[in-house]
Structure 1
């Protein structure tokens, strides 16, 4: 039965999530190169009147499964083709993720306060905010995995809920598979299997509900794949299974990211402002784990290890790929903060970390002042920068005050507001940063001032955005260049000779 305190927490988390994830989501135009890729695909699907086949540059493309495109088209129907419309569902899934974390902690820890803090940490970390406010598959994919793991743990903790929990596990995993591929089942299945193995309770899965769950999983996830295989055969297999899955394991799409330390550093950095707390939480989670530890503690360690080991060996690395483990990071960090903040024996290490974080916050305004002095060309940003400086100084000063007074939990809530302060500045600087993030202004200028009846020649990074904002034929000039990891059906000019030959065929 839901308690009054839980209802209060849920309402607060929903309202805060709307601030962190939704408010002002339509201010910035769609950015290069990924947002415009997904939205252009959904636009072309609508133009082709197709709900099954994704299209890009007028031909089928299979970089990702279908579910995200369904959500984008639903956003078109509800709100129209706007930046707010396409960012709406990633934001909603982020909100669902916050609530799922709260529910998982209440079930596992039987502690509403710890659950609330964990939800706040997830909501306010940098990568979560970034993915909630942009169009990527990773937020939707990761929240489906989170919901599937919540469903399993609910069924494991409440034996009378075993059947609905297992069925929900497979439904959510199936939707994850429709969002990003086979990892949508592989990740949660490996996590629960390793957990049950450690608990010596594998027999938990030997039941009719598990078989029914497999059947429902196939019923939900398989039809789209069968339709694509039947309709496109080898081209679908080559692009989706080989190029976008197997090849990413053995070849780096982004060679600069293919370093052993990329994911460890990314985890810490993208959990900002909780980075230092996360490192300590990871250390204590592994240090204190025992077979007879609390079930959720073991479950979280399995979660962290499985996701990290699955993605670390792959040569294609992106920060967003490991987002499925961020809910676990938020929970172990929230658990640590709660235990220390409410303990009579305050941790010296925790006190030092909090002091360091308050010092970092107080140093940010100095960096902003240096930037304003060094780059006078951005004089138009001085007013919002001054407001930001005052807000951050107030935040850092308040945090330091509560730390020195020993009121650690209040200092944590203040720290959670840091990224919200940065978000609140976006409306005042959007005009200045729009040109760097989006091709919209450049394309509008081109169409307004020139008659475009030829193919538009553009850089590789901008070709998707130019296509989206102009709806004209495009070609890529990249000398010396490397083809897209998943080649697009547009002319790719990677030498002077190819450029000359291309230009000679264009009308003047």
Structure 2
């Protein structure tokens, strides 16, 4: 392994994980609610009770809120502060993957496993988001790496650090940080014929659980008592049990969808998935076995879950990257490509060509984005870079061919974050509406039934939601100052019936079914509404 390749690897990783973190608004629902919650906790000086739109938020535990609050204090409240530590945890996940694979395999496997992570567009996107998932991915990855090192080396520090990281994982996203790693350890002990009382006791479960609880339990108890149990009820029942047993927010899908998430999550090198999995199974290597169990358990667990999202299987991607990295380290030293490898490379070329074409047709498919069909042209360099890989493969220089594959998707990430996403971001309704809402920081802003959460993040004051029209009408009658009303077009007829209400803005939300609308009622029009007149 030449040192310059490692230097380039980490420069490449830093460039991608921190690429244009503030280049687009905090817009998508999860980001808006998580980043908004952290902003409100910082504003209140409250490290215990999470709120969004100044109402209790029970969706997630606080680890990512703490890091976002730190980001806000360092960089100011904004997109960069909200996302900075997500990018840092992405680099940290790659670093521990490199160090682990170097320790249990060699530098070559470490290089290719880490490059597999860094070159994945989905991984880079995942670690650009102001959500809890970057922190959970790191914690679960570290937990299982440390567990394996303890099994191999018997050093107590590894197992205690594993419990520590599991506790932090519980603070990141809850019971999943115990359930799935615990399942991986269980099956690993069974498959390696270590499932014996002596081996289990050697894992120090009592002192380990005590350490885990010392890390996580104080905050869970504090928020439970401070909210009279409301947070615990919402988090454990609605956002854990019900998400597993029932489809939430239309995020369902067929049972094989988690496997698709894993496959697409590590493009481009996941085109070698079948060969890599076969080699890992046949090698009978315990580190590869741990990786196989982790990937398999994540896929099976979320295959039976009724709610399915790409982020749910993301914590297994470092382990799939190890499986792929092990195979790539063998492939780059080969003298001849196998037929299966030729098919995989052919599929990669189809991907390189398909991305710009896919972007073009994706824009065309949405009428409100059809004028952005030119964004597909931004990705056409991928065809040329992908073509370079074909040249190297044809010359039997497989190492450079694989590096060209990684470069192709690295370029795709840079194009996406620096060129395409900022253009696309300007089309979101919040970006369009806020400049038209003059003096929204001074005038009252309310909502009728529902609104895009991103408004709350940028307006930075409570937005009261009115659930029925009569309550809204009373509110408007009593107000003596201008009011902005946020809603969606599902409620447009009722909003239009308000006397003096003027539609300020209307635009479809990006890649969603709803269309956001903003109405304004001036101070001199606040006497009554048409519906009230009809009632009289």
TM-score by length of 1: 0.85
**Aligned match of 1:395:** 385
The aligned runs of 1:67-466 (5 Å cut-off) are 67-109=63-105, 111-159=106-154, 162-202=155-195, 203-207=198-202, 209-255=204-250, 257-286=252-281, 288=282, 293-344=284-335, 346-362=337-353, 364=355, 388-389=379-380, 391-425=381-415, 426-437=417-428, 439-447=430-438, 452-457=443-448, 460=451, 462=452, 464-466=453-455
- Give CA deviations for 1:26-58 in whole Å, capped at 9, x if unaligned: 111212211111111011112221011111121
Gaps of 5+ in 2: 470-484, 502-520, 527-536
Structure 1 stretch 121-130 or stretch 173-182: which is displaced more? 121-130
Of residues 450, 459, 462 in structure 2, which corresponds to 1:470?
Answer: 459
Distance 1:257 1:230, change over 3 A: same
Structure 1 stretch 119-128 or stretch 5-14: which is displaced more? 5-14
Structure 1 stretch 309-318 or stretch 276-285: which is displaced more? 276-285
Higher Cα radius of gyration: 2
**For residues 324 and 52 of structure 2, what CA distance do their matches in structure 1 show?**
41
**For residues 238 and 68 of structure 2, what CA distance do their matches in structure 1 show?**
24
**For residues 236 and 207 of structure 1, what CA distance do their matches in structure 2 show?**
36
**For residues 340 and 466 of structure 2, what CA distance do their matches in structure 1 show?**
53
Gaps of 5+ in 1: 480-489
- Give CA deviations for 1:339-383 in whole Å, capped at 9, x if unaligned: 22313453221123113312432454566778999999977885x
Q: Secondary structure at the match of 1:455?
A: strand
- Checking the alignment, whether the CA contact within 8 Å between 2:363 and 2:372 is kept in structure 1 is no
Q: Secondary structure at the match of 2:248?
A: coil
**For residues 58 and 233 of structure 1, what CA distance do their matches in structure 2 show?**
17
Give the superposition deviation at 1:204.
Answer: 3.0
**For residues 210 and 369 of structure 2, what CA distance do their matches in structure 1 show?**
62
**For residues 380 and 253 of structure 1, what CA distance do their matches in structure 2 show?**
31
**For residues 91 and 450 of structure 1, what CA distance do their matches in structure 2 show?**
31
- Checking the alignment, whether the CA contact within 8 Å between 1:402 and 1:411 is kept in structure 2 is yes
Distance 1:502 1:38, change over 3 A: farther
- Checking the alignment, whether the CA contact within 8 Å between 2:184 and 2:294 is kept in structure 1 is yes
Q: Does 2:28 align with 1:38?
A: no
Q: Secondary structure at the match of 2:465?
A: strand
Q: Does 2:53 align with 1:57?
A: yes
The structure, 1 or 2, with the larger RCO (C-alpha pairs under 8 Å, 6+ apart) is 1
- Checking the alignment, whether the CA contact within 8 Å between 2:445 and 2:486 is kept in structure 1 is no
- Give CA deviations for 1:164-204 in whole Å, capped at 9, x if unaligned: 00011000000000000011122212212211221122333
Distance 1:360 1:302, change over 3 A: closer
Tell me the matched-pair count.
483
**For residues 305 and 411 of structure 1, what CA distance do their matches in structure 2 show?**
29
Give the superposition deviation at 1:242.
Answer: 0.4
